Every structure is written in C-alpha cells, then in structure tokens.
Amino acid sequence: MAPRLANELKPPEKYNPFWIIKDLPRRGTIAGKYLLEDNSNFLESKKVLELETPHLLSNKDIGYPTLNACDNVALDIVLLIKVSLLAHNNHKKSCWEQILPIYPTSPVENS
C-alpha cells in the first residue's frame, strides 16, 4: 500500500518520512511511518522503508505529511506480483511469508 499511496505525495514531500493513517472506530488512530528509498517515477521500482510499524497513536503524535490508508486489493496484488517477478529476474529471493496486513481492522486487547 505504501508505494501506491506515496504517489499522492507532493514532490518536496517525497524526500521526507510520511505517515499512513487509519481511524479505527472506538480505538483511535493507527499509523505507520515510511520513507521512499527510491524516488523513481515507476511504481514497481519504488522502495519503501518502514520506519515505524503501524501502531495506535494519539492525534498529537502523528507527523506530517499523512496519507489515509485505503484498500485497493487488485492494484496491490498486481504490484506485489511485479515486485516478486523483478526479484526473480534478478535472482533474488522474494519472501512472501513476510507480507502481513498493514492495518488490523480490530486491534482488540486480550482481557
């Protein structure tokens, strides 16, 4: 999701960390912090570093710029396949087992 959403950043913002946020009913805001490592114009070649894993934050802790998390499963799957194919063509291992959902829909604590 992060490489796709990073296309919404304005040119000067693409060189700085950004946040992807999602409001969860009754829980607050969950956010992750990311940075584009490769600023090319091709979506498939963008590399995104996860600086902070998604976690619950108070509104005062969220930095700028922020992008709202939004699902586009079809586009994200196509992108993952392209990234995997690129890795394969470069004789690199593509670790699908490391891919986890970015934002849980209900982070319920155990009581």
Cα–Cα separations (whole angstroms), residue 55 to 17, 28, 62: 16, 10, 11
**Whole-model pTM over 0.85:** no
CA distance 20 to 63: 10
Q: Is the pLDDT of residue 102 over 90?
A: no
Q: Is the pLDDT of residue 103 over 50?
A: no
Please tell me whether residue 86 adopts helix, strand or coil conformation.
helix
> Residue 64's CB: how many other CB atoms inside 10 A?
9
What value does the mean pLDDT take over residues 87-104? 67
**pLDDT digit string (tens) for 3-61?**
888 888 888 888 889 999 988 888 788 899 999 886 555 555 567 888 988 888 766 67
Q: Are strands 48-57 and 28-36 parallel, antiparallel or unpaired?
A: antiparallel
pLDDT of residue 54: 86
